[in-house]
Amino acid sequence: MLLIIRGPPGSGKTSVGNSLKHLLNLSSRTLQLDKIIPDVFDENVSAVLDEEYVIGEMHYGNSHTTEPIWLDKFTEKGFRIVSAILQVKFETCIIRAVSRSIDPLALLML
């Protein structure tokens, strides 16, 4: 199964993914779906295709989900694909961005 967790920076995508892995005792890999450097991303996708569970994290928007080639690779391998969108108050995103030394104004660009 490929679980795609979507949400703005600071919404808790990584925390939710880690909690799911722990609570469900899953042996799974996490894939950053927003960080697409063609050769590296293809290698990362290929590396997880033999896993039973993969958790993918990405921001809002459809830039990587409108008929992406990587999605075909998962469906061809028989993965069931589930997508969840996290919602969070903007103030929470700002607080988390500042704690990570990220410019909060960059959140407005998403």
Mean pLDDT check: name the lowest of 4-13, 34-43, 45-54, 76-85: 34-43
Give the tokens for residue 83. 């997508």
Question: Would the pLDDT of 92 be above 60?
Answer: yes
CATH code assigned at 14: 3.40.50.300
Domain count, the chain: 1
Q: What is the pTM of this model?
A: 0.75
pLDDT digits (tens, 9 = 90+) for 11-46: 888 889 999 888 888 777 888 877 666 677 778 888
Residue ranges making up the domain that contains 18: 2-109
**Both ends of the chain: CA-CA distance in Å?**
28
